[in-house]
């Protein structure tokens, strides 16, 4: 590390990765496969340790998938648990630290934790990345490549700002349902939201305090993929079940750009379940059969509506809902904000996923491969193979589409995955897929995995025009940006 003329530290590196969550660590793992022990990668993150959103999210969070598939590259977990075990927050954070330690065995990694990215520019064949530490000191990283792995940019959820002074408004990120004031109390609880956080919160409450009045205000309702179906144990791993990845392909095959709700309804009937009577939303979450039964049995009231406010009146406390309905609640009621982390953001800027030079790669909120971990893995391989500017991947302004149609977002995301994976398959060595330890198909018996892989290899080129047509139609139907990277470069250049 050297000082430049302005007094700030400067580091010369072969690659700089910004973000130490699951996306950034997968990008770093891939980069390490191309770098030698005498080369340098710099890892920048605003937190004080690796883990991304897992560092600050609620304490009772667990993985919703079998733990071996939440990793970097093909790094194996070290905990002695059966593969179907759902790891808790501490175990996930420990594993991500272990992944970073494994990466450091391949190449030199300079860790800049507690640093925020301020700016980055491409200058004279390099990328200059300026970061600021917690002490206010700047560090400039001059690298051959930058992977800006901001991922979903998940922030902690604040408590809802409510008018009533007679209710406790809390957020799971700052209030553990199993401990403290809420656990020592017996007053009713209203959970606001219907997604994964709401299910975790409901399960924590009904198991910790059976008989307590726990209520759910679930918006439009969310359905989940049945984890027991896609990740069945025993003989079902050899037959009967549809492979998890095949489920995305079935959604993509059915989507024509205009029929998103039909696609979601069919997915719900085949593979989904919900704790609510109706469920119009789907964000690819997993929920176990036993979990769903426990939550349903433990809930008192379930309403498909949205909270506007909680108000103190002369007759007591009222929850006022978007439909106009008013729900009286007891003073002292707890209102828990479990609204979605993945709702569309009006102010979010979707950058092109790669700069014109190919030196800067952005792993952002666009669902190019369904999961940011997948994007960190495949886009970084394409970058180090010098193919990322050649392969015509599609990108989607997911925030804009989420604001316009959550159903279309889900169907389009599944289609985007199939389209982009097919292009990657044609562009990279087979070893890239052979070391992809995040592949859900690895759950199944090898003969089944082989059959599904062959199906994809044989059919992906034939299906590509239909996927592209569906995405183009969707973009026109909902007036959103979706297409090759030039679509996003043009919009940035024009300020649209």
Mean pLDDT by 10 residues, the chain (496 residues): 59 97 97 96 96 93 94 96 96 98 97 96 95 95 96 80 97 92 95 95 96 96 93 79 83 97 94 93 92 97 97 96 97 94 62 94 88 95 97 94 94 96 96 93 86 88 97 97 87 48
Distance CA 118, CA 133 (A): 10
Residue written as token pair 């439009």:
220
Distance CA 104, CA 345 (A): 36
DSSP code at position 307: E
Rg (CA), the chain: 23
Q: Which among 287, 267, 44 has a CA at the least distance from the CA of 150? A: 44
H or E element at residue 265: helix 260-271
List the domains of the chain with CATH numbers: 2-155+345-405+483-494 (3.50.50.60), 168-223+278-337 (3.50.50.60)
pLDDT of residue 4: 46
Give me the helix-helix angle, 406-427 and 372-384, nearest 10°: 30
Q: What is the dihedral of CA 109, 113, 118, 124, to 10 degrees?
A: -10
Q: Which among 485, 495, 262 has a CA at the least distance from the CA of 394? A: 485
Distance CA 335, CA 237 (A): 41
Residues 6+ apart with CB under 8 A from 260: 405, 407, 408, 410, 411, 412, 474
Give the E-state strand segments of 38-93 in sequence order: 40-45
Give me the helix-helix angle, 22-34 and 372-384, nearest 10°: 20
Q: Which among 326, 355, 337 has a CA at the least distance from the CA of 157? A: 337
Q: How far is CA 259 from the centre of its chain?
A: 24
Q: Which among 377, 283, 369 has a CA at the least distance from the CA of 23? A: 377
Residue 452 has φ and ψ, to the nearest 5°, of: -65, -40
Q: Which among 341, 292, 291, 287 has a CA at the least distance from the CA of 57? A: 341
373 touches 92 (CB < 8 A) = no
H or E element at residue 473: helix 446-478
Give me the helix-helix angle, 260-271 and 244-254, nearest 10°: 150
Alpha carbon of 121 to those of 31, 38, 41, 93, 129: distances in Å?
Answer: 20, 25, 18, 32, 7
Residues 6+ apart with CB under 8 A from 496: none
Strand order in the sheet with 334-337: 168-170, 334-337, 189-192, 214-217, 299-303
By the 10 Å C-beta count (0-12 exposed, 13-18 middle, 19+ buried), 186 is classed as: exposed
Distance CA 76, CA 60 (A): 23
- The residues facing 142 across adjacent strands are 12, 128
- The residues facing 126 across adjacent strands are 123
Distance CA 151, CA 363 (A): 5
Residue written as token pair 């927050």:
89
DSSP code at position 259: -
By the 10 Å C-beta count (0-12 exposed, 13-18 middle, 19+ buried), 159 is classed as: middle
Distance CA 150, CA 78 (A): 27
Q: Quick count: other Cβ atoms within 10 Å of Cβ 294?
A: 17
Helix (H, G, I), strand (E, B) or coil at 328: strand
Residue-level length of the chain = 496
Distance CA 294, CA 335 (A): 21
pTM value is: 0.93
Strands 108-113 and 40-45: parallel
- The residues facing 303 across adjacent strands are 217
């Amino acid at each position: 590390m050297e000082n430049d003329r302005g007094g700030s530290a400067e580091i010369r590196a072969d690659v700089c990765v910004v973000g130490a969550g699951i996306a950034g660590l997968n990008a770093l793992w891939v980069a390490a496969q191309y770098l030698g022990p005498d080369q340098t990668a710099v890892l920048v993150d605003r937190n004080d340790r690796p883990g991304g959103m897992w560092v600050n999210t609620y304490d009772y969070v667990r993985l919703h998938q079998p733990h071996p598939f939440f990793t970097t590259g093909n790094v194996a977990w070290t905990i002695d648990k059966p593969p179907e075990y759902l790891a808790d927050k501490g175990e996930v954070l420990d594993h991500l630290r272990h992944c970073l330690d494994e990466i450091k065995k391949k190449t030199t990694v300079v860790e800049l934790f507690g640093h925020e990215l301020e700016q980055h520019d491409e200058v004279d064949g390099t990328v200059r990345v300026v970061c600021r530490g917690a002490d206010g000191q700047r560090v400039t990283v001059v690298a051959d490549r930058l992977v800006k792995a901001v991922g979903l940019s998940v922030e902690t959820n604040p408590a809802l700002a409510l008018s009533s002074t007679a209710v406790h408004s809390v957020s799971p990120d700052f209030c553990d349902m199993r401990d403290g004031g809420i656990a020592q109390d017996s007053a009713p609880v209203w959970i606001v939201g219907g997604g994964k956080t709401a299910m975790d919160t409901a399960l924590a409450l009904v198991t910790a305090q059976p008989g307590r009045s726990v209520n759910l205000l679930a918006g439009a309702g969310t359905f989940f993929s049945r984890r027991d179906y896609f990740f069945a144990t025993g003989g079902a791993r050899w037959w009967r079940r549809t492979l998890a990845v095949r489920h995305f392909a079935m959604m993509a095959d059915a989507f024509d750009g205009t029929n998103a709700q039909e696609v979601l309804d069919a997915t719900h009937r085949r593979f989904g379940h919900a704790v609510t009577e109706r469920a119009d939303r789907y964000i690819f979450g997993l929920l176990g059969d036993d979990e769903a039964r426990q939550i349903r049995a433990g809930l008192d009231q379930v309403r498909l509506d949205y909270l506007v406010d909680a108000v103190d009146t002369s007759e007591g406390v009222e929850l006022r809902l978007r439909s106009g309905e008013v729900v009286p609640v007891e003073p002292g009621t707890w209102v828990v904000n479990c609204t979605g982390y993945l709702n569309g953001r009006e102010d979010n800027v979707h950058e092109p996923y790669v700069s014109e030079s190919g030196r800067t790669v952005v792993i952002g909120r666009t669902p190019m491969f369904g999961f940011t971990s997948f994007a960190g893995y495949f886009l970084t391989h394409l970058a180090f193979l010098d193919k990322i500017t050649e392969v015509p991947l599609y990108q989607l302004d997911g925030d804009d589409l989420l604001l316009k149609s959550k159903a279309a977002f889900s169907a389009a995301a599944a289609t985007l995955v199939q389209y982009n994976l097919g292009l990657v398959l044609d562009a990279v060595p087979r070893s890239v897929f052979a070391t992809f330890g995040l592949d859900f198909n690895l759950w199944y018996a090898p003969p089944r995995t082989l059959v599904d892989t062959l199906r994809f290899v044989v059919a992906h080129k034939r299906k590509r025009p239909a996927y592209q047509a569906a995405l183009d139609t969707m973009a026109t139907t909902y007036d959103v940006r979706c297409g090759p990277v030039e679509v996003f470069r043009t919009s940035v250049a024009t300020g649209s």
